[in-house]
Chain A
């Protein structure tokens, strides 16, 4: 496996002004690093990777890495990525998005991208909170938990992102945590190789806002919690609903083959051109 210094030299932008904007203990860097390790293991050409994001802490990920990088508007990474992928199907398009970005303001785009089955890999960094704006509740903040816009406890029920994208038609769904780095690399690798719309939900931690407000401790304690609640899918299948209460099922949850959007569009082009030739002759 690639060493950390090799990773930095090969994939980070040396002309970009570091340090990055993320808080000490943030999980985003871990996910970004493991995404890069997955890309390195797949030996992908940097010129052929387009890395697209929306707004929020996660939205800042692309600027640091040496790919074709596109930092779009809040919630809109997927439609930008859709246009780019359809325009240039040879590109590997990877989207990085947070829980608020992908399931609140961008929720409509997310379900339609799943339904369309366009060959894009979406990594959802789920830290249960709006971090960049200072800790407001998101669509994944657990019921009863606190944020600065629900100091007395959240009365809304959270989305289960993996279940949501599965229902919307994603043909690959994986879930992991920022503690389980090897599993994360493997799932991201499989997601990138998958032909069709793939989603990897990574449960991660925001010690600065969510952790502090809900007395979850610092980054170490929050990582320990991820380690404790995660259950690999094959083990979860042998557990009762009572045993699974409060646990997070990880692993590749869905993997199926269905016609991919860009490939189908190519057949439309062929058919349309045959029709026109038919008309002319």
Chain B
């Protein structure tokens, strides 16, 4: 390419804000909380410059409520928070799942539970992101492991939320959020923007929850002439509350079906040195950085170790594991929690390979050396 690539020094949280703008986000509501606040500060400046809207709400309950309201008004809306705020958002996250409102929540994780270790790194919210709100619901959770991915995954999160009419969570380590790196971001014209499908039928024919062939119903904005009802109650295809068992079944199963249909697309997975690998490190977020570094040492020592890097945590990309299981003797899962993805790996593995976990919950990270030591200890 003749065109010169331009580089910039950027923080993970800055990259999230840049990704949001690149994806067409034009509404942000939030409440200050470390280590995510930079995202709010940057968007408070940048959104009005582009005609977008920013509002600081009274708490995180109000923040997620406001972005849902804005999305119903036709905006692409995002909020950013950390553990304590994410806990407060669970109630309305469930509303957005059931009412099928496209929103994006960025959770820059800090060590918990409760106020925890502000604001040391942690990956403790993995299961909360999956099951934090009550009731059966599908969710998409992406987790970047570099500053560049903080940008590109935020774009993807916005696009997936629009395409599937479902909340998407960007679950980011504090390490990635506050890390600065030299990045080259793609020009605006190169960025794919997906917009929700809107109805094109006359309003009297419109049924807001009548799924099209894609499994997703077209979504009208309030004020566009399609007067309809949105509720957090289980509803029929017209959006009206129902207690009819068949309609209730169709409502809830429809939520799962649309995400199952998009399963391969929303599962972001990368493999490094896996072709001849007999052992694999399965990592996500900041643990990818430690694993990658450990990988060099281990390969130099003659050990056939590879890396399975999860960019999507939920739905769990089981195929990534299943594909390599026949050739693997050992899988090592380093996590900054007590083993939340480890259990998923155990489930998919079903007794085939030896699974080892490395856990850390004291606010520090797992270093490459520790991974090297653990792997050597197990493999020899």
Which residues in A have some Cβ–Cβ distance to B below 8 Å? 13, 15-17, 46-48, 50, 52, 62-63, 66-73, 76, 78-88, 90-91, 108-109, 112, 265, 268-269, 271-273, 275-276
Contacts and interface: CB of A to CB of B under 8 A. Distances in A.
Given A68-B222, A84-B73, A265 B61 contact: no
Contact of A67 (B27, B227, B233): B227
A88 B58 contact: no
A114 to B, nearest CB: 11
A58 B255 CA distance: 28
Contacts of A276: 49
A86 B222 contact: no
B248 to A, nearest CB: 15
Contact of B65 (A50, A72, A271): A72
Given A84-B73, A85-B69, A269-B48, 14 more contacts: A15-B238, A69-B228, A79-B58, A80-B69, A81-B69, A82-B55, A82-B62, A82-B66, A83-B70, A83-B71, A83-B72, A86-B70, A87-B75, A109-B62
A108 B58 contact: yes
A268 B52 CA distance: 11
A109 B73 contact: no
Interface in B221-253: 221-225, 227-233, 238, 240-241
Most buried by A among B27, B67, B222, B225: B222
Contacts of A15: 238, 240
Contacts of B233: 71
A71 B231 contact: yes
Given A83-B67, A88-B73, A91-B222, A272 B45 contact: yes
Interface in B53-87: 53, 55, 57-59, 61-63, 65-75, 77
A63 B49 CA distance: 38
A112 B62 CA distance: 10
Contact of B69 (A47, A66, A79, A271): A79
Nearest to A273: B49
Interface residues of B, number: 44
A73 B69 contact: no
B95 interface: yes
A137 to B, nearest CB: 23
A63 B233 CA distance: 11
B230 A79 contact: no
B188 to A, nearest CB: 16
B74 A80 contact: no
Contacts of A17: 240
Nearest to B64: A79
Most buried by A among B49, B66, B75: B66
B222 A88 contact: yes
Contact of A16 (B70, B230, B240): B240
B223 A90 contact: yes
Interface in B94-110: 95
